[in-house]
Amino acid sequence: MKQRPIKVLIAKPGLDGHDRGAKVLARGLRDEGFEVVYTGLRQTPEMIVTAALQEDVDVVGLSILSGAHMTLLPKVTRLLRERGLGDVLVTAGGIIPDDDVPALKEAGVAAIFGPGTTIAEVAEYMRSHVRPPEA
Amino acid sequence: MSETGLRAEELADAAVAGDRRALARLLTAVENRTATAEAALRRLHPVAGGAHLVGITGAPGAGKSTLVAALIAEARLAGRAVAVVAVDPSSPITGGALLGDRVRMQAYASDDGVFIRSMAARGHAGGLAATSTNAATVLDAAGFDLVLLETVGTGQSEVEVAAAADTTVVLEAPDMGDEVQAIKAGLLEVADIVVVNKGDRPGAQRTASQLRAMLGSSTVPGPASGEQVVGEGRTRPKRPEVLVTTASTGQGVPELLAALDRHRSAGRDGLADAARLARAEAQVWAIVSERLRDRFHGAAARPVTEATLRAVAEHRLDPYSAADRLLAALDGEQPRP
């Protein structure tokens, strides 16, 4: 059987209104052959996790520019675990200082893509790190 | 029982018991057409049948997602559990898809009575209707009262998805074109209810009256008078109701929900029954044709199948005789245990 395309949720937690990057990534991943669920701006961690659960995504990609990443990202990973979605790959992009990266990885964010990361790099990372598909 | 069968039954039972994670996983299996999906659907089909299946289609930008969001709100007020399957096209080149319908339906993150699932069309010829019908069966069995199937009304297979529902709603925006455009679109032929959305825009009422005139529809809502047969024995009301909504404010949405209910109860004895029968027919024949294909390509039959296909390709045999030959070969086969 043909391999199912990888399904990714692209979400913007928090209150910043800049979704250009998230949209560019969503479109770029579509062109890489992913099925991309785009949920738009100002998502609460609860909204993101509900969407991830209902859509049964392989990856949650979070874009955050507001500076609230140390609160919001760990909350998303914790809620994912609580709702049985601990095997979903979580990545983040946006403006995240290097100093914060170890703590975020500790909290369960698998990869952090800073400015300048290409879409091909993101796609390649996701392809090689998603959970294997079920029969 | 096989491990897949056991796993499928566990998932199915959990989904029926209200486990949303299990439900989501089952929908993935349905999309991927796995053995798990088949085993689960065998178990779920007898449980399903209580939901009202509503197809919603229309041109891009007509406001389908916004209307679906408004319908969710209205149905929740009435205490009904609502599920949405939103289908978006897949790229024929990369196979990728951008599924953006949730953007307008985010208000229900902590409401267990709402479940939204996006699906990429994945370009399987004719298979999209089968997949979405199966997805609807799963959601129906999981206890949702209203299942909304939202598709872009741009391709044959997308229109078929909406048309496979108990009630099909076709959405139009005001002044999308003159009457001739509306006839050309062909979409209206599958409509049980036509909705002119963006009712706050100038021209909405005019568009609605034009559509009513064209569709021979009255302004007075009521049971459809008379029926006509539209393709393959499908019966449709002659006169779809034409309603005006402003989905962004909720204007006209209670009336739409009422019209959906009317269509369903009017159809219990006749129309919806025909729709259900047509859906069952499409479902079963799709499976029969898939199974036949599998058998022709199975280890025993493959040499004959390939030789026959090659003969047609090289014009040594016509395709009709080839089909007869293959079917005759199957007749001689022992039925599988």
* Contact B20/A at CB under 8 A: yes
B20 to A53: CB separation less than 8 angstroms, yes or no:
yes
Min Cα–Cα distance to chain B from A32, Å: 7
Domain spans of chain A?
7-129
Instruction: Determine the Cα–Cα distance for residues B223 and B246; give it in Å rounded to an integer.
Output: 24
Residue length, chain A?
135
Question: Which stretch of DSSP H or E encloses residue B284?
Answer: helix B271-296
Subunit contact B32:A133, Cβ cutoff 8 A: yes
Q: Which chain A positions have a beta carbon within 8 Å of B92's beta carbon?
A: none
| B293 at A interface, C-beta within 8 A | no
CATH for B48-268 is: 3.40.50.300
DSSP letter assigned to residue B269: T
What is the model's pLDDT at position B14? 96
Q: Give how far Cα B136 sits from Cα of A126, B144, B152, Å.
A: 30, 9, 17
Say yes or no for a CB contact (<8 Å) between B94 and A29: no
Chain B residue whose CA is closest to A39: B103
A82 touches chain B (CB under 8 A): no
Left if phi > 0, otherwise alpha if psi is -120 to 50, otherwise beta: which for A104?
alpha
Three-class DSSP category at B229? strand
Given CB atoms, is A84 within the 8 Å cutoff of chain B? Answer: yes
Express each pLDDT in A48-100 by its tens digit. 999 999 999 999 999 988 888 889 999 999 999 999 999 999 999 988 899 99
Q: Which of residues 97-116 of A touch B (CB under 8 A)?
A: none
Nearest CA in chain B to A84: B21
Domain with CATH 3.40.50.300 in chain B: 48-268
Which positions ≥6 away from A11 have C-beta within 8 Å? A22, A39, A40, A43, A47, A48, A51, A60, A61, A62, A63
CATH architecture of residue range(s) A7-129: 3-Layer(aba) Sandwich (3.40)
Cβ contact A134:B8 at 8 Å = no
Residue at B65: amino acid letter: S
Tell me phi and psi for residue B99, to 5 degrees.
-105, 105
Question: Looking at chain B, which residue has its C-alpha nearest residue A26?
Answer: B98
- Quote the pLDDT of residue B268: 62
Hey, are the CB atoms on A134 and B116 less than 8 Å from each other?
no
Per-residue pLDDT tens digits of chain B, which is 337 residues long:
577 777 899 999 999 999 999 999 999 999 998 999 999 999 999 999 999 999 999 888 889 999 999 999 999 999 999 999 999 888 888 989 999 888 888 788 889 999 999 999 887 655 677 888 999 999 999 999 999 999 887 777 777 777 778 899 999 888 766 555 555 556 777 888 999 999 999 889 988 988 888 877 544 444 444 444 444 444 444 578 999 999 999 999 999 999 999 988 876 656 667 778 888 888 898 889 888 988 888 888 888 899 999 999 999 999 999 999 999 887 776 545 4
Angstrom distance (rounded) from CA B221 to CA A128: 57
In this structure, what DSSP letter does residue B223 have?
S
pLDDT for the residue numbered B186? 67
ipTM of the complex: 0.92
Task: Report the pLDDT value the prediction gives residue B181, as an integer from 0 to 100.
Answer: 59
Across the interface, which of B24, B33, B98 has its CB nearest the CB of A56?
Answer: B24
Output the pLDDT for position B280. 87
Residue B183 has a pLDDT of 57
Asked if B110 is an interface residue toward chain A (Cβ–Cβ < 8 A), one would say yes
Question: Which chain B residues are closer than 8 Å to A1 by Cβ?
Answer: 32-34
Residues B24, A56 contacting (CB under 8 angstroms): yes
Interface residue B95 vs chain A (CB under 8 A): yes
Which DSSP helix (H) or strand (E) runs through B193? strand B193-196
Over residues A8-27, the pLDDT tens digits come to: 999 999 887 778 889 999 99
What's residue B234's pLDDT? Answer: 47
- Distance (Å, rounded) from C-alpha B166 to C-alpha B155? 20
pTM of the model: 0.87
